[in-house]
């Protein structure tokens, strides 16, 4: 199509000279890799871009991104805290959140009164929720975490991320979650020294590992 005005449907080949208003348009040969940032969400922040009631959202504290915008990879409810990932690639976010990927989420959970043997067995075998069955891949009593009164801490792992899923599962087994902290998403863990309300950029190597986890 050399020397012609482009029309809808035309394709350019490598090496073609493309002009707009007489000026050359240059294209990058390689698409830049997605960026991923990790945010330590505190209790009381919403995972939404704006709130009609004026409450603080997680996006208020993220670094500005231009062009584009940060997309949340999953959610945490108002009363939950811990690891939240954001990316500048909507495609990557959708891939990581899709149930077929079965990406592990790991949480530290404080349960009022603790979980009995029967409740633990039920949660590992599967409980029925209003949006379908759900089960934990693993439940471990959390050693070294200070229990208070009858509250007991556990570390749980599941391979999906439905709305308030951990809380609803524990309730289905007869318990009640009084504290919930996400500490891992896939291969990315919450740094022990990252204060609540702060974020860091995930390094290129870990970002590539995350991308590979949805490409295999």
Report the alpha-carbon distance of residue 155 to residue 130 in Å, rounded: 24
Find the catalytic residue in 10, 77, 88, 140.
77
CA atoms within 13 A on the CB side of 116: 6
> 88 an active-site residue?
no
Which strand (E) or helix (H) includes residue 91? helix 90-97
Which residue carries 């979650």 as its tokens? 177
What is residue 200's three-state secondary structure?
A: strand
Q: Report how far residue 190's alpha carbon sits from residue 100's, in angstroms, rounded to the nearest whole number.
A: 24
Element (H or E) spanning 210, and its range?
helix 204-212
How many other CB atoms sit within 10 Å of the CB of residue 102? Answer: 11
Catalytic positions: 77
């Amino acid at each position: 199509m050399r020397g012609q005005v482009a029309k809808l449907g035309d394709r350019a080949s490598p090496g073609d000279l493309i002009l707009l208003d007489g000026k050359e348009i240059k294209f990058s040969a390689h698409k830049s890799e997605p960026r991923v940032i990790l945010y330590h969400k505190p209790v009381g922040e919403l995972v939404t871009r704006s709130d009609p009631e004026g409450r603080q959202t997680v996006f208020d504290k993220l670094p500005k991104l231009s062009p584009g915008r940060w997309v949340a990879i999953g959610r945490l409810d108002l009363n939950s805290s811990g690891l939240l990932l954001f990316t500048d690639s909507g495609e990557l976010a959708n891939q990581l959140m899709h149930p077929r990927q079965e990406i592990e989420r790991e949480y530290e959970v404080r349960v009022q009164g603790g979980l009995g043997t029967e409740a633990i067995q039920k949660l590992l075998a599967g409980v029925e929720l209003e949006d379908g069955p759900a089960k934990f891949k693993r439940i471990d009593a959390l050693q070294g975490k200070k229990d208070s009164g009858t509250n007991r801490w556990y570390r749980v792992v599941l391979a999906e991320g439905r709305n308030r899923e951990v809380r609803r599962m524990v309730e289905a087994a007869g318990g009640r979650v009084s504290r919930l902290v996400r500490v891992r998403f896939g291969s990315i863990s919450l740094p022990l020294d990252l204060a609540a309300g702060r974020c860091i950029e995930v390094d290129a190597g870990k970002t590539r590992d995350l991308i590979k986890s949805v490409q295999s």
